[in-house]
Structure 1
Amino acid sequence: MSVQRYIAHFDLDSFFVSVEVLRDPSLKGKAVIVGGSVDRGVVAACSYAARQFGVHSAMPMKRAMQLCPHAIVLKGTRGEYSRYSRMVTEIIAAKAPLFEKASIDEFYVDLTGMDRFFNPYQWTIALRQEITETTQLPISFGLATNKMVAKIATDEAKPNGYLYVHPGMEQAFLAPLAVNKIPGVGKQTFATLQTMNIQKIGDILQYTPEQLERKLGKYGSELHQKALGLHFGEVVNEHEAKSISTENTFEENIADLEFLHAQLVRMTERVAYELRQEDKLAGCITVKIRYPDFSTTSRQTTVSYTFSDDELIAAAMDLFEKLHKKGAPIRLLGVRLTDFVSHGMQGNLFEDTTKKSNLYKAIDDVKNKFGKMALNKARTVPLPRKEEPGKEEEK
């Protein structure tokens, strides 16, 4: 007998806007757009009042201002978004048996098997209430037997609501919804489905998986499964378990501060590159130092979720200065990134990070084509010492 799955999906409503309203209550109920300047960049988030005029995230700011010229435009405060995101994460981590931080404002909780001890629906309602009372942020959730249905249920429950799709009711719940409510159905797929007279999710089941495959390739059979309410994705706690790190054990003990700084920059640049390859942002960085007597010390700090070399290098240098015993030679140096969330729109929140994102994409394209060492910051090469840097180990 199979165990009944219970998956909850939490999503902070208009997260960036909600944080700005907490900072300035006079914004409540108004058309607010968080993003670039009035005529540049894209919309990172918008209030429900702005959405009524057709504004949505990822829309060019110029178009958004044409639709809603009276909107209040804010560049946003990234540090505050990270701080509130961590507050919610800590509440969920303290209560949930297993959770996944899918993005800065989105979480999955796996309650499978916990129905022996409590009612999953009532437990999820109580968790939502605690989050709201502690942070004053609106949050919606969907509860279902899998991640996909739970996420769609959350979207239907918004704003600031919740919805439980009981086991066995998945197909009935999905059938009347627009087909592009299914995650992964983009503009091109949606247009193809419309030519097949598929408007609602239930319409998909008029076709066999084989017929859908002929039109949509392998995605056709997957779409048929989704229309039945079937999805097998697991809740994975990468937030705590996953890390990207590198350590450098020097062939001889190094006291040359300029050399050590160059090594730290190079190592941080390397882990930041690996982070971008995984399409993630990091919220925590750790620097590790081992001395000739093998005594080891480390220090970490939280940062606004980022993939940017410059932001991570600045944090690493600050940690090194606080950690290093002045003048003491070093045997090993390490850098580690943790607390990951998916990149998505969060790496392109504002105009300056959009430019930065494009720059790093160009740099990474060169590295991917010609090797990781094809481009490095000027301060890291040539190294100010003739000695070999030692054995570096990536984790």
Structure 2
Amino acid sequence: MERAIAHMDLDTFFVSCERLKNSGLEKQPVIIGGGDRGVVASCSYEARYFGVRSAMPIKMALRLCPEAKVIKGDMEYYSNMSHLVTEVIQEKVPVLEKASIDEFYLDLSGMDKFFGCFQWTNEIVDAVTKNTGLPISFALSTNKTVSKIGTGESKPTGRLEVKEANIQNFLNPLSIKKIPMVGPETFNLFSRLGVKTIKTLSEMPVDVLNQLVGKNGTVLWKKSHGIDETPVIPYSERKSISTEDTFAQDTIDILKIRSILSGMVEKLAYQLRQEKWLTSTVSVKIRYSNFDTEIKQCRIPYTSADHTLLKYVLELFKKVYTRRMRIRLIGVRFTGLVHGLHQMDLFEDTEEMISLYQTMDHIKNRFGSLSVGRASGFLK
């Protein structure tokens, strides 16, 4: 049976959400980001025309497009809209993978017998726009790589089908940058060799590719030929990461507990970033000396930033610790995970804060996860 994999991507998601609240932003250059020292979290196509891009410093973006309207952004609002879109799609498909806050894969294999996969995908997109007001693009093909590339080529509000027989002709003229796993370094490497299109890449011998980029050479060769067996992984809010600490002696030392919580959050947030997860739900668990156990949780905007998560964890601890009784165990859990690049709370953080996180993660990657951290996390 031929696979039918659709990729859906909400068009300029943050900007589109703001335009739902303020129709005056329609057809205007819009930048979502945080202040003069912050960076661009998202921007409209009108702003992109002037060269504005995500992660660009706001000051640079405004030099390129002085007329742009800068909006701080509301991650909680965007997260809620993302959940709404997810619910609409999830009701209509057998297998859904939520790849990020604004990106989805659908496995519609076998549904041609009943609906016609392209027609069915069109109806799902219509339902999303009708129920949320958000524009969304999609592409349908036989695998995740081709459908994702197709969505990028069809934007904005595009609807594209790339049939199996036409996959190579579709891919050949495109830049190798369109292949999801090709980053700036890989692109520059191949560009120096004169390899800039997928067609040229597909004609290279596999062993040569492996010599250039290691074991990823074979994967890259397959993708250049439109081959990708990666399954659509069913979305579930039950995915989680967590950690607990049972004390050698029950304690009522709140400063010590807050320090332990800080260390836990930093450890889990680092894991989120390494595995490219964002979390939308935080839980704090305590067990008293009499073994009574209580848990508090809250829904939060998608993030993997230590300082943002720690704020919620400490607030939850205040709410869950209601008795003047010694504590035996403390735990933190992050759930409601979706894959995505670390948002870094781009609406609030400065370039310096983002640089700090990147530097700390680099040090941890090289010397171990305990090599650097907040002082509060070491006060045990």
TM class by shorter chain equals 0.7 to 0.9
CA distance in 2, matches of 1:18, 1:45: 10
**Mapping 1:242-321, distance limit 5 Å:** 242-321=239-318
Residue 127 of structure 2 aligns to which amino acid in structure 1?
A: E
The one of 167, 171, 182 equivalent to 2:179 is: 182
Q: 1:369 to 1:171 in 2, by over 3 A?
A: closer
SS at match of 1:318: helix
Deviations 1:210-230 (A, max 9, x none): 455566665554443223211
Query: What whole-Å deviation, never above 9, does each CA across 1:320-358 have from its counterpart, x for those lacking one?
Result: 222233223333221101222344262363462543332
Q: What does the per-residue CA deviation read over 1:96-129, in whole Å, with 9 as the maximum and x for residues that have no partner?
A: 3332222221111222344455433233222212
Q: Which residue of 1 aligns with 2:73?
A: 76
Mean CA deviation greater in 336-345 or 215-224? 215-224
From 328, 339, 359, the counterpart of 2:356: 359
Instruction: Flag structure 2 segments of 5+ consecutive residues without an equivalent.
Output: none
Alpha-carbon contact 2:256-2:379 (below 8 Å) kept:
no
**Aligned residue pairs, count:** 380
C-alpha distance 291-119 of structure 1, shift in aligned 2 (>3 A): farther
Shift of 1:52: 2.4
1:255-280: CA deviation from partner (whole Å, max 9, x where unpaired): 44444333333323332232233233
**Are the structure 2 counterparts of residues 52 and 358 from structure 1 closer, same or farther at C-alpha, using a change threshold of 3 Å?**
closer
Aligned to 1:33: 31
| Cα displacement string for residues 181-231 of structure 1 (whole angstroms, at most 9, x for unaligned residues) | 222334454455556665543344444434555666655544432232111
Q: Which has the larger radius of gyration?
A: 1
Q: Counterpart of 2:105 in 1: which secondary structure?
A: strand
Question: How far did residue 143 of structure 1 move?
Answer: 1.2
Question: Paired residue for 2:123, among 118, 123, 126?
Answer: 126
Q: Aligned match of 1:322 in 296, 319, 322? A: 319
Normalised by the length of structure 1, the TM-score is 0.83
Determine whether 1:21 maps to 2:16: no
What's the secondary structure of 1:95's corresponding residue? coil
| Cα drift, residue 18 of structure 1 | 0.9
In structure 2, how many angstroms separate the alpha carbons of the residues matched to 1:189 and 1:377? 34
Hey, what's the Cα distance between the residues in 2 that align with 1:368 and 1:226? 28
User: What residue identity is the alignment partner of 2:4?
Assistant: Y
Matched residue SS, 2:180: coil
Structure 1: distance between partners of 2:214 and 2:254? 57
Question: Counterparts of 1:1-395 in structure 2 under 5 Å?
Answer: 3-37=1-35, 40-191=37-188, 193=190, 198-210=195-207, 219-237=216-234, 240-344=237-341, 346-347=343-344, 349-350=346-347, 352=349, 354-367=351-364, 372-375=369-372, 377-383=374-380
The 1:161–1:265 alpha-carbon spacing in structure 2 relative to 1, beyond 3 Å, is same
The structure-2 alpha-carbon separation of the partners of 1:308 and 1:211, relative to structure 1 and needing over 3 Å to count, comes to closer
SS in 2 for 1:169: helix
Do the aligned residues in 1 keep the contact of 2:171 with 2:226 (CA within 8 Å)?
yes
Instruction: Give how far 1:153 is off.
Output: 1.1
- Structure 1: state its 5+ residue gaps: 384-395
CA contact (8 A) 2:242 2:331 kept: yes
Worse-superposed segment, 25-34 or 275-284:
275-284
Aligned residue number for residue 391 of structure 1: none
Cα distance change, pair 293–219 in 1 and its aligned pair in 2 (3 A): closer
Structure 1, residues 128-174: CA drift from partner, whole Å, max 9, x if none? 12221222111111111111101011112211121122233322222
SS of alignment partner, residue 265 of structure 1: helix
The CA RMSD over aligned residues, in Å, is 3.0
Q: Distance in 2 between matches of 1:215 and 1:377?
A: 39
Q: 1:44 to 1:269 in 2, by over 3 A?
A: closer
- Structure-2 change in CA distance of 1:326 and 1:181 (3 Å): same
Structure 2 CA distance for aligned equivalents of residues 80 and 237 of structure 1: 25
Distance 1:309 1:59, change over 3 A: closer
How big is each residue's C-alpha offset from its partner over 1:65-88, in whole Å with a ceiling of 9 and x where there is no partner? 343222222232222222222222
| 2: CA distance, partners of 1:360 / 1:211 | 36
Q: What residue number does 1:392 align with? A: none
* Residue identity matched to 1:108: Y
Rate the CA distance shift 1:249–1:176 in 2: closer, same or farther, 3 A. Answer: same
Structure 1 stretch displaced more, 131-140 or 285-294: 285-294
Distance 1:54 1:370 in 2: 38
**AA of the residue aligned to 2:81:** Y
Question: SS of 2:246's equivalent?
Answer: strand
TM-score by length of 2: 0.86
**Partner SS for 1:328:** coil
User: C-alpha separation between the residues in 1 aligned to 2:373 and 2:170?
Assistant: 53
**1:382 to 1:88, Cα distance in 2 relative to 1, 3 A:** same
Code of the aligned partner of 1:30: Q
Return the letter of the residue paired with 1:74.
I
Of stretches 314-323 and 256-265 in structure 1, the one that deviates more from structure 2 is: 256-265
- Structure 2 match to 1:388: none
